[in-house]
Structure 1
Amino acid sequence: MTTGPRTTPAALWRAAEQFGSNEAVADGSERVTYTELLDRVRTAARALMAKGVQAGDRVAIWAPNTYHWVEAFLAAQYAGATLVPISTRYTGHEALDILERTKTKVLVVPDRFLKADRLADVLKAAGEGGIPALELVVRTPSDDPASGVPTTAFPGGEILEWDQITAAAEPVSVEEADARAHAVSPDDVADILFTSGTTGKSKGVMTAHRQTVGIADAWADCAEVDDKDRYLVINPFFHTFGYKAGIMVCILRGATIVPAAVFDVPTIMTMIADEKISVLPGAPTIHQTILDFPTRGDYNLSSLRVAITGAAAVPVVLVERLQSELGYDAVITAYGQTEAVVVTMCRTDDDPVTVSTSSGRAIPGMEVKIGEQGEILVRGENIMLGYLDDPESTRKTIDEDGWLHTGDVGVLDERGYLDITDRLKDMFISNGFNVYPAEVENTLARIDSVAEAAVIGIPDERAGEVGRAYVVVKPGATLTADEVIAFCKERLAGFKIPREVRIVDGLPRNPSGKVLKNDLREGKA
């Protein structure tokens, strides 16, 4: 693995020094070189410091993939703060839960995104009590220019508009900001990313700077990313795939970050052609959709060099078509989870069968072995520090010998390549996102007329898997499938909402009372 910076500020300094004139970010008409990115980040960090942000404070970003996200995240960590990414798919209730549990001091949020006022949503969810720790909202521009002047107020706190950052930075000198950034240690917590737990309560995965940088470095090595690459980041920045295997990879190698705020196939193909995209990561459905698009031939996609995919089964024919029809030099699959980010990856010279039948071999700095019940165990310098305020779950997940218990089942071949065969837990993956049935079941339990519920994943041609909920209604009560879905839409991100709801008289159980989800999958309900 390349020896280099071990904090994100250090990575940014090196990028400005080595790749200063390279485009760091190409976001529509916004073009920013690495030299300019450092200047912007330093200014934003000064503004945060002027507003009272101290080392170790939490700064949350609840925003789509734009240059604002890149600058805000780097500025937060430049000021010594810890980043808390929030899914743009989350409702106000879900975002509030994360803000409260992390005691977030600053929230970066757009005025509008996809016609929704996120700040209004989270303040409504908070109610009269407000959000005690939250002191500052940094509001980025709307994705809808016609939305008009922002109207949402923030009682008890301050709103800083994005175009006010330079003025807000004036009280703090460049030297003060640089001193704060230099004080950031490789062992400081860089970020807290939330991943749903099987108990239904999300867990905050804490990662140090050395790990966030280290995992991106290993990824960049395996994918052979360099300063000539232009990297289209469709994967959300709030996800490790977009943040650590996207933004950070580019910063470490001097590649250009090209953010995609929404996934629209003609728009994506236009971006590939116009921006001469060479690296395209994404779930298999993204690549499949591009291949099958009826007017694909109208777009010049010849710049594509490396495709990176994972989070679902990858057919051999997909790999072969990507190479033969789109001219990719390499197609790479990978396996990871928030607690370890990236565990295994294929390499650029692996053949199509290896790519489609495995998730690659351990990346530099990681060990993989198969434990009891075929569970995949992972150990290495880049696995998480632990779960936020949850030492018990941390001990259950990382054993005394340092092995992270993934909950996934797999086999290793003689070459050390990993094939994931099943899951110990009931989690399923919808459109590349993990869905934990217990979390959905806990939401369903809040419906007054629900006696009990069980959720499973069922195959779906487009999403990979979607949820199906089996709901038992209380005696004398009435409930429809539409009412269940409407309730979920107010409280759950879209990918968690069951696609199907079946009202049933009862759930199959074993003698100890545990719901037999295999019976549900086999239609015995």
Structure 2
Amino acid sequence: MTRTIYGSFREVAARHAERDAIRDGDVRLTYAQVDALVRRTARALLALGCKRGDRVAIWANNRWEWPIAALGAQAIGAAIVLCGTRLKGGEVARNLIRANARFLFADPGFGSYDFVAAIGEQPLPDLAATVVFDDRRGESVMGFELFLDLADTVTEAELETAIAAVQSGDLSDLIFTSGTTGAPKAVPMAHEQSLIACEVQQRDISHFVPGDVFLVMYPFAHNAGYRAGWQAGWLHGVTILVTRDFDALHLIGLIERERVSYLPAVPTIFQAIMDHPAFATADHSSLRIVSTGATTIPIQLIERMQAAFRHATVYTGYGLTEAAGSVSNTRPGDDARIIVNSTGRVLSNLSVRILDADGNEVAQGCDGEIAVKGPQVMRGYLDDPAATAAAFTADGYFRTGDVGRFDAAGNLTITDRLKDMFIVGGFNVYPAEVEQMIGGIAGVREVAVIGVPDDRLGEVGCAYIVASGEPPIDEQAVHAICRERLANYKVPRAIRILEALPRNATGKIDKPALRNAT
């Protein structure tokens, strides 16, 4: 049986036609209204020449139009390419080229950064059209309403033909991630895999009921805001609540006013909410699940959350883009120490092994590389057979590059990262990518980037530089270049110039020594 993301959504929308599907400020759209807009978007894309197998990129903040554009593309067999709003124009252009994206939906900008101008500066000859979520008028760059008007040139019968051609194994999305080489790699997922990931999340973690209100704090361009966010919610009759204001008082009022039932967020969000004087008298009894993770979590924070959100279950978990989201998650009844010291039990449709350096499974309680296998685990990186071969064991387990161990109860604890990746406020940062950029600055001879603890963000970057002496460089100049060329979460918070970098016996830079000296 053919299963597609839009086909599954369509069935849910028919059952919950009058229920709110999304709320974004003053915008309130029912499932019936969303379905109509999705279909109109799909017809407009067909009018532009979009077809099954094409790639449609989305570079926008969380807003009601984002999932409608995504579902409209997926309905006719195009795959969406997720672009984070903190990326700069050159970073997005690189991803569009790698993905062979022909169409782009974009916000006007993020803060003072102009997305349309930034992408217009890039050489993208294969980009046929850019649709901006505003009211501008043009041919290659057009506003969303003008774009939707194109739908009138395509019939419903033509749309149904396009929808019927989509297969379960067709590509549904591409999310870029990075590895030890620093070169971003695209993780492809098929419709069937995405649906399976949403179903196991529902079965093991979310337990959504129709009418739940899901405040999606994570970016829609991140797996946690996309697949585990609005997509999982919309497949179960949930109301998605959008906010672009992370002020603690605003969030407290939003939770109370909208009767939010499901709230995943990074630890800093929960700290800010609980620290605000208004929290003590606010009604947050509607919350039944609050979850956090993606960084180091103090046990005091978890204990405080369990006491403060006494009507809710507090969760944490572990996941990765290559597994379409969650790999393990804590469960109701777990105490604070389990939530802090582990990521819970492996999801019911996944198999996880802990491997030694030779690829052999280690005994319970011993550390090793985490390897995962299951139907929603990617088949391989896009157009990168070498990286794919290196990422999988002979029997099909994906080697995550993370080090962990199981306890006697089956809880998975993450103890280290083989890939040196660190997490800044919920965003993965890969040192090799930052090192490549800094290494290209005139006057830099060598560079090493590590993650260091930070009270607010969990970890931040620290760059150690050896100068070449010509031209002269200083920390402030390097920092300014980093801010110009990198997403802000990738910018090292500290830059230190050394005479030499420590090295191990093989001559490689000794990052553990740098961490110990920090």
Q: TM-score, normalised by structure 1?
A: 0.93
Write the deviation string for residues 473-515 of structure 1: whole angstroms up to 9, x where unpaired.
Answer: 1134311111101111111100000000001111111232200
Q: Which amino acid aligns with 1:491?
A: R
Residue number in structure 2 paired with 1:489: 483
- Cα distance in 2 between the residues matched to 1:72 and 1:440: 32
Following superposition of structure 1 onto structure 2, how do residues 57-72 of structure 1 map, counting pairs within 5 Å?
Answer: 57-72=54-69
- Cα distance in 1 between the residues matched to 2:18 and 2:392: 43
Q: Does 1:177 align with 2:159?
A: yes
1:320 Cα offset (Å): 2.8
213-222 or 334-343: bigger deviation: 213-222
Write the deviation string for residues 398-456 of structure 1: whole angstroms up to 9, x where unpaired.
Answer: 22211010111111122221011111121111101111111000000110111111111
Q: Which amino acid aligns with 1:300?
A: D
Following superposition of structure 1 onto structure 2, how do residues 501-520 of structure 1 map, counting pairs within 5 Å?
Answer: 501-520=495-514
- Cα distance in 2 between the residues matched to 1:327 and 1:182: 47
1:135 to 128, 144, 152: 128
Q: Which amino acid aligns with 1:51?
A: L
Residue number in structure 1 paired with 2:338: 354
Partner-residue secondary structure (3-state), 1:138: strand
Residue number in structure 1 paired with 2:364: none
1:348 Cα offset (Å): 2.8
Q: Does 1:199 align with 2:192?
A: no
- Cα distance in 2 between the residues matched to 1:206 and 1:264: 35
309-318 or 511-520: bigger deviation: 309-318
Q: Does 1:107 align with 2:99?
A: no
Q: Which amino acid aligns with 1:161?
A: G
Residue number in structure 2 paired with 1:297: 280
1:228 Cα offset (Å): 2.4
Partner-residue secondary structure (3-state), 2:291: strand
Moved over 6 A (4+): none
Write the deviation string for residues 281-323 of structure 1: whole angstroms up to 9, x where unpaired.
Answer: 1122222221122332353322211012221233333233223
Q: Does 1:422 align with 2:416?
A: yes
1:447 to 441, 448, 451: 441
> What stretches of structure 1 of length at least 5 have no aligned partner?
142-148
Residue number in structure 2 paired with 1:7: 4
Q: Which amino acid aligns with 2:305?
A: L
- Cα distance in 2 between the residues matched to 1:112 and 1:505: 41
1:102 Cα offset (Å): 1.1
Residue number in structure 2 paired with 1:146: none
- Cα distance in 1 between the residues matched to 2:334 and 2:497: 47
Following superposition of structure 1 onto structure 2, how do residues 113-512 of structure 1 map, counting pairs within 5 Å?
Answer: 113-124=110-121, 126=122, 130-141=123-134, 150=136, 158-221=140-203, 222-340=205-323, 341-373=325-357, 374-512=368-506
* 8 A contact 2:25–2:243 mirrored in 1: no
1:5 Cα offset (Å): 8.2
1:232 Cα offset (Å): 0.2
2:25 to 4, 22, 28: 28
Residue number in structure 2 paired with 1:145: none
Partner-residue secondary structure (3-state), 1:240: coil
1:182 Cα offset (Å): 2.5
Q: Which amino acid aligns with 1:264?
A: D
- Cα distance in 1 between the residues matched to 2:281 and 2:127: 49
* 8 A contact 1:472–1:504 mirrored in 2: yes
Partner-residue secondary structure (3-state), 1:422: strand
Q: Does 1:48 align with 2:48?
A: no
**Cα 1:522/1:323, change in 2 over 3 Å:** closer
* 8 A contact 1:428–1:434 mirrored in 2: yes
1:112 Cα offset (Å): 3.2
- Cα distance in 2 between the residues matched to 1:159 and 1:15: 33
Partner-residue secondary structure (3-state), 1:165: helix
- Cα distance in 2 between the residues matched to 1:131 and 1:83: 17
Q: Which amino acid aligns with 1:134?
A: L
RMSD: 1.7
- Cα distance in 2 between the residues matched to 1:262 and 1:212: 29
* 8 A contact 1:304–1:327 mirrored in 2: no
1:350 Cα offset (Å): 2.9
Write the deviation string for residues 80-132 of structure 1: whole angstroms up to 9, x where unpaired.
Answer: 101101000001111111111111111100123323210101222x2xxx301
* 8 A contact 1:509–1:515 mirrored in 2: yes
Partner-residue secondary structure (3-state), 1:227: coil
> What stretches of structure 2 of length at least 5 have no aligned partner?
358-367
Partner-residue secondary structure (3-state), 2:154: coil
- Cα distance in 2 between the residues matched to 1:350 and 1:486: 45
**Cα 1:254/1:439, change in 2 over 3 Å:** same
- Cα distance in 1 between the residues matched to 2:147 and 2:8: 23
- Taking only the aligned residue pairs, the percentage that are identical comes to 40
344-353 or 250-259: bigger deviation: 344-353
Give the length in aligned residue pairs: 506
Partner-residue secondary structure (3-state), 1:451: strand
- Cα distance in 1 between the residues matched to 2:214 and 2:234: 11
* 8 A contact 2:352–2:373 mirrored in 1: yes
1:150 Cα offset (Å): 4.9
